[in-house]
Amino acid sequence: MAIHPIEYRYGSKEMKAVFEEQNKLQKLLDVEAALARAHAGVGNVSAEDADIISKKASTKYVKLARVKKIEEETKHDIMAVVLALSEQCGSAGKHVHLGATSYDIVDTANALQFKQALNIVCRDLVELEGILLELAKKHIKTIATGRTHGQHATPITYGLKFAVWAREIRRHINRIDESRKRILVGKMSGAVGTMASFGEKGMQIQELVMKNLELIPAEVSTQIVQRDRYAEVILLLALIAATLDKIGREIRNLMRTEIAEVSEPFAAKQVGSSTMPHKRNPINAEKVCGLARVIKSNVFVALENVSLEHERDLTNSSSERVIIPESFILLDEILKTTKKVLSGLIFHPENIERNLKLTKGLNMAEAVMLALTEKGMGRQKAHELLRKLSISTSKENVELKKVLLESKEITRLLSKKEIESVTNPEKYIGTAVEQVRNVLKIAEKERSS
């Protein structure tokens, strides 16, 4: 019976498959096979025995049920794998796991899973970046109200908003690529890291194993690969989740009834509330924000796992069984959800226009202030004048333009035509269009390389 929502609700089949027991077992067997071949490469075992071990190191022969049966007796998961593989290899079985400690196998297998999972994450990030770039291009001149501190600020464009998110996603892609050299690392160093169990050829054996598995050998290790590497994995996933949380929160806010500038896609038979038939809730964006909290909370556990005792203790093992698959699978879920939300995002131009005019021109006060300074008025004097006129505008509930035209201090420097121009939001978006075009140009080069 399913218990954790990951089992039946969250994550794609592809990402879940990376962390399913069958795949985990196969990765452990892959490492055992690579170790046998490395021993053959340095002359410790015959090529024939290494070939037998390699052939049998498959879930086709080593069944998960058998491994679990042995583990019930041995109370040791890796020893169960070793024994299950050995019994399939005949006389060659005596060479299985030769010189290795459990975490030579576990940590190297983990790196293989990290590689698979990060490739899925990276692919989704590239697709999400593409969606954001298309939105930035399409809405390059869609002018809207900018907001700071939850209050209306100066105008912005939706294109600029999407371009900012696109670049953040690109940085995550770059972080993954750059971090692979620290994350995709395995080791064959024995019980405390001295490689004593591998003899004089320890370094060579480790090099051969990692070369065969296309991983990077740890420069030095204890019984485990040091957990700052694993903390970096979880921190990286949490950082991506934080960006998705930010995007989801913005969509949720823009969907508020009072704002209503954009909406999530809503299916024909979708129900928003069990009691309020009219509701169209931002459930997907809310899911993104909610699951991001779980991923971010796993960072604490990953950091605690860095400080293990002496050459290692076992406190990291149990928690890693939870936080590693959970973080990857939940991130997979919210990445795919964010792609769905943004690719189907519905815009409400009439509300964008309404909100742009909601403050009756007060969002153009900065533009008026700067226009006055260009005419010779001191910046501080212009700021104070516009502050007072803005208060009058709010109290009288009239257009800022009307108050400006009635102010002798303003009309002494600005003509009616200039006031009309300087209070037009379309004329106060600065280099927003140019910045988006620059982002699109940079992104095109990056995505084609």
Q: Which residues are catalytic?
A: 149, 273
DSSP code, position 407: -
Amino acid identity, position 256:
R
Strand partners, 216: 185
Tokens representing residue 423 in the block: 């209070």
Q: In this structure, are residues 122 and 94 in contact, taking their beta carbons and an 8 Å threshold?
A: no
* Separation in Å, CA 302 to CA 150, 266, 321, 328: 34, 37, 11, 13
Q: How far apart are the first and last CA of the chain?
A: 47
Task: Please give the radius of gyration of the chain, using alpha carbons only, rounded to the nearest integer.
Answer: 30
Question: For residue 186, what is the enclosing H or E element?
Answer: strand 185-186
DSSP reduced 3-state for 318: helix
Cα(41)–Cα(29) distance, integer angstroms: 18
DSSP result, 131-184 = HHHHHHHHTTT-EEEEEETTEEEEEEEHHHHHHHHHHHHHHHHHHHHHHHHHHS
Q: In this structure, are residues 125 and 172 in contact, taking their beta carbons and an 8 Å threshold?
A: yes
Q: In this structure, are residues 19 and 114 in contact, taking their beta carbons and an 8 Å threshold?
A: no
DSSP reduced 3-state for 436: helix
Backbone angles phi, psi at 151, to 5 degrees: -115, 155
Cα(61)–Cα(63) distance, integer angstroms: 6
Short-list 37, 57, 58, CA closest to 49: 37
Backbone angles phi, psi at 423, to 5 degrees: -100, 10
